[in-house]
Amino acid sequence: MKPSSTERRNVLVLASSQSLFTITTITVMTLASVIGLKLSPDPDLATLPIAVMMLATVVTTLPASLLMKRIGRRNGFMLGTLCGIIGSALMLLGTAQTSFFYFCAGMLMIGLYQSFAMYYRFAAADVARAEFRSRAVSYVMAGGVISAVIGPLNARFALDWLPNIPMGGPFLVTTVLAVAATALLLTLRIPANPPGEPTTDSTTTRPLSIIARDVRFLPAIAGSSICFSLMTLYMTITPLGMQEQGFNMAAITMVVQSQVLAMFIPAFFTGTLIARYGLQPILWIGLGLLSVAMVIGALSHTVPVYMASRITLGIGWNFLFVGSAVLLSHTHKPAERGKVQGMNDLTLFSLVTLGSISAAALLQRLGWNGIHLASLIPLALVAVLLLRMQWRRI
């Protein structure tokens, strides 16, 4: 059965909102450590703005999910875009006044924006019937393709748009985009239950401890959390590592852009691949590509090798992240989605925050080669959990 016009419209709104949000995150991830190094009183604090952003997301991601259960997804998403407007304005103020405090405060608000926006992919599952669900999640993630082009370009070419505020232009752009996202989300309509599913008693829910016994629960959470934390870690340290090796901002932007394009372009067909070949093969391919990316990354000393590593990382991230979101959607009832999705993203951003706080220190202590090879350890954990899931479901 083909998706209805309402399903298609909702998915388009979510994909567009995802795109606008991702332009903001790519912009701040590309510039935050560089601006942090310029504004901070200590070079070791260069990645603190990113850590503040991720910590804000960790603290609020579960409350955001529970709040949206009360006030609705649309209202919650619009509250998130309001935080995005305030955050971008504060970062613009921070660059204008060379204030590390204001810049970090802006990053904190972007973290709140992220707390709500991370649920776009789960909302896609809520607005689609079962046979369209994997493609809906995939299409929403595909909203990042435009962002993969515009985000790095915004971080590079808008730097001098405000002559009196060095590096302030990109944050003026993200402020306008958050306003646009707010207007767009006014058209979103999310049903109480996914289309095609019977209405359920919203008061009948299982404890999280019972839901977690589902053999798919841990692989889903570990897969999304570990691949996302590794993606964020390398988005954070790549500008620092390349800058340290003498590469200019044009080369850094090219590498970041190649990674982000690789992250989102596969989303146009990931859902179709899952529907055709099954979920588990896509999860394994994603895990394998991430492992290969770590090995290539350890050998990176030229721009083409950097790009090869990041393209492989991006494709692997997409397969594992989208696959994990679809896998998690099979573990809970509609009435349980708030706490399950909230626990997923709480775990995810706890790992991301840990990686962001320790990114600069890890790079200094382990070195470029060591940090890539060490990343194979958490990927091995995901492999063990996937094998356990297969054995227990045979």
Question: Residue 56 maps to which CATH number?
Answer: 1.20.1250.20
**Within-domain flag for 149:** yes
What pTM does this model have? 0.75
Rounded to an integer, the average pLDDT of 316-334 is: 91
Whether residues 172 and 246 share a domain: the answer is: no
Do residues 310 and 262 make contact, with C-beta atoms less than 8 angstroms apart?
A: yes
**Within-domain flag for 196:** no
For position 394, what pLDDT does the model report? 47
What range defines the domain where residue 148 resides? 1-191
Do residues 55 and 209 make contact, with C-beta atoms less than 8 angstroms apart?
A: no
Question: Distance between CA atoms of 87 and 75, rounded to whole angstroms?
Answer: 18
pLDDT for residue 45 is more than 80: yes
Integer angstrom CA distances of residue 91 from 26, 94, 165: 14, 5, 11
Domain count, the chain: 2
Measured CA angle at 88 (ends 39, 233), to 5 deg: 65
| Residue 195: band (very low, low, confident or very high) from pLDDT cuts 50, 70, 90 | low
Whether residues 33 and 154 share a domain: the answer is: yes
User: Which amino acid is present at 252?
Assistant: I
Of 211 and 358, the structure prediction assigns the larger pLDDT to: 211
Rounded to an integer, the average pLDDT of 313-318 is: 95
pLDDT for residue 199 is more than 80: no
| Residue 284: band (very low, low, confident or very high) from pLDDT cuts 50, 70, 90 | very high
Of residues 195, 172, 191, 200, the one with CA closest to residue 94:
172
DSSP string, 260-277: HHHHHTTHHHHHHHHHHH
Of 95 and 149, the structure prediction assigns the larger pLDDT to: 95
Of residues 374, 331, 376, 328, the one with CA closest to residue 348:
328
Do residues 44 and 365 make contact, with C-beta atoms less than 8 angstroms apart?
A: no
Do residues 313 and 189 make contact, with C-beta atoms less than 8 angstroms apart?
A: no
pLDDT-wise least confident of 69-83, 106-120, 260-274, 314-328: 260-274
Residues whose CB falls within 8 Å of the CB of residue 327, separated by 6 or more in sequence, listed in order: 216, 219, 220, 223, 279, 283
